[in-house]
A and B are shown apart, each in its own frame.
Chain A
Amino acid sequence: MTTLPPTPARKLGLVIDLDTCVGCHACVISCKGWNTENYGAPLSDMDAYGESPEGTFLNRVHSFEVTRDAAPPMVVHFPKSCLHCDDAPCVTVCPTGASYKRAEDGIVLVNETDCIGCGLCAWACPYGAREMDGAEKVMKKCTLCVDRIYNENLPEQDREPACVRSCPAGARHFGDLGNPESAVSQLVAERGGFDLMPEQGTRPVNKYLPPRGRDTLQMPALASLCAPDTSAPTPARPAQGFLGWLDRALEKL
């Protein structure tokens, strides 16, 4: 059923510490590994050994640069996966009921045998958390490793999402964000955890912890000479075939 459940009592989710993430991509690889070998369709790679390889990933690490007025610029590694939103727009748009949010713990999942691969849920997600698998043609997304966290065949210390388990910097925390007493909720309160794009009205469960203040030494004047050169964009390959003809015809108008 693609209507959203009433606010779940437990809200399992992640807290990601942007202060300690070192951008090693271990979470990306362990996520791909676990979710290829276990629940659901494997995460495929297309043209893996060709000239333009690409693949399905449920977790990706972007790196941003923040230019500050009174301090040196900082580089922030930024892991991003499904935020398991309370008001998940991806769930309500699904025409088949394949997309759903669990009432018991708030995890947003896709029932792959019901998915028609229309892609509307990926359009509805502001965060780019959903990717259509290139081989299976069904929508893939972070399951919060639902097949690990309740899995009694695994040793106790492994019953957390693969990305959390593999993070060498301890930048990822897993827990119940619906319970204000939980360790993750305390961490969010203490460090001023925030939502991504709150203006989109999705009420994400996952929270991000801001980088701590670093050195605030006087900026050397040299820094202004190091501004990135944005003047020359990389030239795009000209379109081929019918679109290429259309492009040239419109150019001549």
Chain B
Amino acid sequence: MHPAPSLILFTVLSGMGFGLLVWLGLGLRAPTGLAAFILFGLGYALAGAGLIAAAFHLGHPERALKAFSQWRSSWLSREAVFSAATLALMAPHAAASVFWDRPLPLLGWLGAALALATIVATAMIYAQIRAVPRWHHWSTPPVFVLAALAGGALLAAQLTLALWLMLALGLAMAVHWVLGDQQFALARSDTGTATGLGRFGRVRLLEPPHSGRNYLLREMVHVVGRKHARKLRVIALVLGAVLPALALLLPAGYAVVGLALLAHIAGMLAQRWLFFAEAEHVVGLYYGKR
């Protein structure tokens, strides 16, 4: 799949923002005054920036409001509904914390649940797609949820929690890679089933339908991006989870948390790049590519 920068930025930043809102809503850290202003501001900015980055991905952003209508069947619609509900319900809790030094726990908990639901919905948009076997697997949602919660805990300066979540995230990424490598074969789709000609013999593409590129190839058959997959996996694992975890073992301080945060973001960008670039869509079988 094509690793679109807007989608990589959206899933990383917005996930982190909603992860931070989960912890702020749960009240594990109940900041007030200026601290609350900065933390809630950061959560809203990240979540909002991610949503704006995602809107750039649309062909017709001016019709985006229609995306709230199909929550019965569509995970993308559910994501839109959950994210808007999170930002709306969390607002009184945030305002009360900032201006009156008095958090509203009930709204906070509700907002936290919705923020978590938003992260799960984002993950399910990918995990539901059967035509991309690597994504269509139970190991996809844990990566998204743990990345958001670990990044959010780091931003909320919940350092012990962040340490454990970083370790869990590292494990989740490794599981997603190792099991993901087998999923295309397990889906049993090949050029033989794609054309139905497998019953006669070995099938290969003789002539593509046209000499140029097309939308399908640009969007879903992205072979070049996998060139450095092994190295990028190590980079994602070390920067995204291992290095932040090690940094969190050091005596706490702004420099340490800042370093952990930068490493984590860089690692997660690498992980998300790979998440798209390594994902093979079965439509590639019609073009002799995977």
Contact = CB atoms under 8 A, between A and B. Distances in A.
Nearest to A137: B59
A122 B69 contact: no
A250 B132 CA distance: 27
Interface string A130-159: 011010111000000000000000000000
Given A62-B286, A132-B215, A247-B227, A68 B200 contact: yes
Contacts of B129: 89, 93, 123-124
Interface residues of B, number: 63
Interface of A: 1-3, 18, 28, 52-57, 60-69, 73-76, 78, 80, 89, 91-98, 114-120, 122-128, 131-132, 134, 136-138, 194-201, 208, 210-211, 228, 236, 239, 247, 250-251, 253
A80 B188 CA distance: 20
Given A57-B214, A124-B129, 13 more contacts: A2-B72, A54-B213, A54-B215, A66-B201, A66-B202, A97-B69, A97-B70, A116-B67, A118-B59, A123-B132, A123-B281, A131-B215, A211-B197
Nearest to A201: B130
Contact of B283 (A76, A92, A93, A126): A126
A200 B282 contact: yes
Interface of B: 1, 57-61, 63-64, 66-67, 69-70, 72-77, 80, 125, 128-132, 187-189, 191, 193-197, 199-210, 212-216, 219-220, 224, 227-228, 231-232, 281-283, 286-287
A76 B60 contact: no
**Which of B1, B64, B210 has the most CB atoms of chain A within a 10 A radius of its CB?**
B210
B70 A123 contact: no
A250 B104 CA distance: 49
Contacts of A125: 131, 283
Given A124-B129, A138-B59, A2 B70 contact: yes
A196 B196 CA distance: 6
Contacts of A95: 66-67, 69-70, 74, 76-77, 80
B219 A126 contact: no
Given A1-B70, A250-B231, A96 B205 contact: no
B74 A197 contact: no
